[in-house]
Amino acid sequence: MIDHDAFPIEPWRIRETRLDLDLLAQSESIFALSNGHIGLRGNLDEGEPHGLPGTYLNSFYETRALPYAETGFGYPEAGQTIVDITNGKLLRLLVDDEPFDIRYGELIDHERVLDLRAGILTRVAQWRSPAGKQVKITSTRLVSLTQRSVAAIEYVVEAVDEFSLVTVQSELVANEDQPEMSSDPRVAAGLDHPLEAVSHEHTEHSGLLVHQTRNSGLMMAAAMDHEVEVPGRVEVTTEARADVARTTVICGLRPGQKLRIVKYLAYGWSSLRSRPALRDQVAGALAGARYSGWQGLLDAQRAYLDEFWDAADVEVWGDPDRQQAVRFGLFHVLQASARAERRAIGGKGLTGTGYDGHAFWDTEGFVLPVLTYTKPHAAADALRWRAATLDLAKDRAEQLGLAGASFPWRTIRGEECSAYWPAATAAWHINADIAMAYERYRLVAGDDSLERECGLSVLVETARLWISLGHHDRHGVWHLDGVTGPDEYTALASDNVFTNLMAALNLRVAADACRRHPDGAAAIGVTTEETAAWRDAAAAVHIPFDRELGVHSQSEGFTSLAEWDFTENTNYPLLLHEHYVRLYPAQVLKQADLVLAMHWQSHAFTAEQKAHNVDYYERRTTRDSSLSACTQAVLCAEVGHLELAHDYAYEAALIDLRDLHHNTRDGLHMASLAGAWIALVAGFGGLRDDEGVLTLDPHLPDGIDRLRFRLRWSEFRLTVDATHAEVIYSLRDGPHSHLTIRHAGAELTVSTQEPTTVAVHVRKPLLPAPSQPPGREPIRRRLGSDVTS
């Protein structure tokens, strides 16, 4: 838990006012900078102390054997683990003969600021060395959103009270030592010195190292160059060895004098290109960075972000906590995806090694909805990445004796990397989640060029998978047995409602896409008989409903399972204290499952069913998954439990800023950060799109006075500005002058000419707000006023 004092709430900045070594690893994740290609954890410039040193390149991984004490057919043999690559962040400082290390001497002042509009991390430290010399260090770090291969650091040292001899060692270091790994299954596998040196070179001001992974055979290059400004004499030298390149800058500073170093960094990797090609690539990137110069990089960064915020910002009046958090979330979602460019968006982005750097359904299920409405270009790139792995997914399906394509539960490059199949291979829904993401992109972008380019084959092959997975019973009802839905405390169930609805969606969307692209469909062998079979299965899908209780059964028989024996002493997360053999056959949920179905397939449920289902599942959901709170917020808002929804929105938004799941050290929870947006926009804004229509229905909780958010829809930009009384829709751009949306269940045409103001449709809850398992009431309630704002 990170408390408020060290991180005061400000609308556009994350500011740390003092350095707490116990929170160092968490702050490294929070202050991570990335553009989706390069990721730099917020490690201190001088390298030590650190929680987890981390520098990453998207999809630069090492393979490792996955061990099984008892193996089985089709278990993946090789895992993929993100590699801590050559660290270019390092700038070690010596003041006279003493190294700047905040654990020694006196740290007079230390502040770090992540500026969400500037896209930079700034650090100011005032330090007195053990020998009594005082210096002020100001460093500013960026990972360029406009120059994909470039990062840069401006490092300024100022002598405060007396003359000091100052030495800065600016380094590239490969194969950094890693801290010991935990036994928590959610943490990454450790890799010991994964990089083999290929070559190294240097000039007076610059250095370049090329390395290669042992097993995956990927080659990477890292290069640095420096601009040095200082009054008086300065000596700059560079040396390079296999795993280290070091530029040393020495000068003397009188009080008030400053040494300013701009360190330009360039990174590149390839599985194909030669060492000289890669070497030239990073040298070229470095030249581009020097050409832009430090100020040029800063300006471009600001311009890029200004454009982003103009179309993506969410404004929250009356709730500064959530205001800060939703922007923090949007910023990191952007960082994870902006320049990923047909590479995976990992569950932690490029902020840490948690989950081995793997991408899950989090991407299509939680991150892409946000990007599709706010940065559609990045969403399209992520979908192109999935499509690029289609052949691997088809191979996997074939290995499993199935038709079509089976996308991996967790992966970096596209191969299945999960070693626990009941919560992975059996979680077939990821295939439908991907299909839904394509369909949403088509709707929101308002054109089907991406579908034509690559979506069609993904939709067709996933539809084929579903047909080979499902079967009609003797009464003609279509079933999916032995599946695991989103809730990982139940596995291998029959007719999971979420999975069945999503599979039906996938089948229908694929059939529709084939109708739109008859030639493309014919080219991959789709016949009208095949699409008819898809529609038939979708129409016959079984949706378990418990008539006695009047609620949907998450999966067949779920509502007849034993209740979990929650007590005041129950320890969470349950997965670290209970065996799956106990969790699976009990009515206990790790995360929203049926409730998620009611969000993503809203039209399949009546208002009354939603109210009763929320009531039923709320009481049984532990929220042990970080994916859960935002969905609970959305549905609680829909059924009128607005205060409860507000609490859940808090959890989704603050997960990393407050380290609510105690694992922010391993990296940020991208899906939950996206969930901060989802909780506000889909929850209090009422955004739905499952019927192909932009649907909104704003309704605010007491704690939020006004909510204003921006959406893209078919080349329009729409601003939604809601108070407790009314909603103002403002339309910009667009292919036409009018757009018909659905507001509070009724059609509403809005115009680019002038804003449209309508009344809030007040929703009354059908049932009283439900309780949660003991100890799992929303965290804001448990903590009381110290975290409310």
User: Residues annotated as binding site?
Assistant: 361-362, 590-591
| Total number of residues that touch a second copy (CB under 8 A) | 53
CA distance 757 to 755: 6
Q: Which of 324, 363, 425, 621 binds a second copy (CB under 8 A)?
A: 425
HSE value, Cβ hemisphere, 13 Å, CA-based, for 113: 17
Segment near a second copy (CB under 8 A); pick from 61-69, 273-281, 607-615, 753-761: 61-69
Does 360 bind a second copy (CB under 8 A)? Our answer is no
Residues 84-123 that bind a second copy (CB under 8 A): none
Does 299 bind a second copy (CB under 8 A)? Our answer is no
Q: Which of 289, 412, 575, 670 binds a second copy (CB under 8 A)?
A: 575
User: Residues annotated as binding site for substrate?
Assistant: 361-362, 590-591
Q: Which is nearer to a second copy, 272 or 581 (CB)?
A: 581
Residues 20-59 that bind a second copy (CB under 8 A): none
Does 560 bind a second copy (CB under 8 A)? Our answer is yes
The DSSP symbol for 243 reads: S
Does 768 bind a second copy (CB under 8 A)? Our answer is no
Q: Are 11 and 320 in contact (CB under 8 A)?
A: yes
Q: Which of 580, 693, 751, 752 binds a second copy (CB under 8 A)?
A: 580
Local structure of 14: helix, strand or coil:
strand
Write down the H helix ranges in 206-274. none
Q: How far is the CB of 551 from a second copy (least distance, A)?
A: 13
Site string for a second copy, 582-601 (x = CB under 8 A): x-xxx---------------
Q: Which two tokens stand for residue 248?
A: 């040393």
CA distance 19 to 17: 7
Q: Which is nearer to a second copy, 533 or 758 (CB)?
A: 533
Does 550 bind a second copy (CB under 8 A)? Our answer is no
Does 562 bind a second copy (CB under 8 A)? Our answer is yes
| Cα dihedral 708→710→713→716 (10° resolution) | 100
Q: Which of 479, 612, 688, 710 binds a second copy (CB under 8 A)?
A: 479
Q: Which of 74, 132, 255, 745 binds a second copy (CB under 8 A)?
A: 74
Q: Which of 111, 201, 315, 556 binds a second copy (CB under 8 A)?
A: 556
Q: How far is the CB of 473 from a second copy (least distance, A)?
A: 5
Q: Which of 280, 315, 341, 481 binds a second copy (CB under 8 A)?
A: 481
- The whole-angstrom distance between residue 771's C-alpha and the CA centroid of its chain comes to 29
Q: Are 531 and 511 in contact (CB under 8 A)?
A: yes
Give the C-alpha distances (Å, rounded to integers) separating 523 from 431, 456, 514, 527.
22, 11, 11, 10
Residues 189-208 that bind a second copy (CB under 8 A): 189
Does 67 bind a second copy (CB under 8 A)? Our answer is yes
Give the C-alpha distances (Å, rounded to integers) separating 769 from 274, 542, 605, 637, 765.
62, 30, 19, 11, 8
Local structure of 412: helix, strand or coil:
coil
CA nearest 369: which of 455, 463, 444, 451?
Answer: 444
Does 180 bind a second copy (CB under 8 A)? Our answer is no
Does 581 bind a second copy (CB under 8 A)? Our answer is yes
Name the region of 277 (left: φ>0; alpha: ψ -120 to 50; beta: rest).
alpha
Q: How far is the CB of 560 from a second copy (least distance, A)?
A: 5
The DSSP symbol for 777 reads: S
Q: Which is nearer to a second copy, 288 or 557 (CB)?
A: 557
Q: How far is the CB of 66 from a second copy (least distance, A)?
A: 4
Q: Which of 124, 181, 300, 419 binds a second copy (CB under 8 A)?
A: 419
CA nearest 294: which of 120, 525, 490?
Answer: 120
Q: Which is nearer to a second copy, 196 or 556 (CB)?
A: 556
Q: Is 480 exposed, middle or buried (0-12, 13-18, 19+ CB in 10 A)?
A: buried
Instruction: Give the sign of the dihedral formed by CA 511, CA 515, CA 516, CA 518.
Output: positive
Q: Long-range contacts of range 182-188, CB-CB < 8 Å, 24 or more positions apart? A: 184/576, 184/663, 185/575, 186/354, 186/355, 186/663, 186/666, 187/353, 187/354, 187/663, 187/666, 188/81, 188/82, 188/353, 188/354, 188/355, 188/356, 188/357, 188/666
CA-angle at 248, arms to 242 and 249, nearest 5°: 165
Does 547 bind a second copy (CB under 8 A)? Our answer is no
Q: Which of 208, 316, 483, 750 binds a second copy (CB under 8 A)?
A: 483
CA-angle at 25, arms to 21 and 26, nearest 5°: 105
Segment near a second copy (CB under 8 A); pick from 31-39, 96-104, 208-216, 560-568: 560-568
Segment near a second copy (CB under 8 A); pick from 211-219, 277-285, 466-474, 598-606: 466-474
Q: Which is nearer to a second copy, 68 or 104 (CB)?
A: 68
CA distance 652 to 618: 16
CA nearest 145: which of 336, 350, 352?
Answer: 336
Token pair 């089907």: residue: 448
Q: Are 670 and 332 in contact (CB under 8 A)?
A: yes
CA distance 318 to 90: 41
Does 450 bind a second copy (CB under 8 A)? Our answer is no
Does 401 bind a second copy (CB under 8 A)? Our answer is yes
Q: Which of 192, 548, 568, 786 binds a second copy (CB under 8 A)?
A: 548
Q: Are 225 and 290 in contact (CB under 8 A)?
A: yes
Segment near a second copy (CB under 8 A); pick from 437-445, 474-482, 654-662, 774-782: 474-482
Does 272 bind a second copy (CB under 8 A)? Our answer is no
Q: How far is the CB of 404 from a second copy (least distance, A)?
A: 14
Segment near a second copy (CB under 8 A); pick from 3-11, 261-269, 345-353, 569-577: 569-577
Does 764 bind a second copy (CB under 8 A)? Our answer is no
Q: Which of 238, 372, 418, 554 binds a second copy (CB under 8 A)?
A: 418
Q: How far is the CB of 615 from a second copy (least distance, A)?
A: 17
Q: Which of 12, 17, 20, 66 binds a second copy (CB under 8 A)?
A: 66
Active site residues: 488
Q: Which two tokens stand for residue 83?
A: 């590699």
What residues make contact with a second copy under the rule CB under 8 A?
66-74, 79, 183, 185, 189, 399-402, 418-422, 425-426, 470-471, 473-474, 479, 481-483, 491-492, 494, 548, 556-557, 560-563, 575-582, 584-586
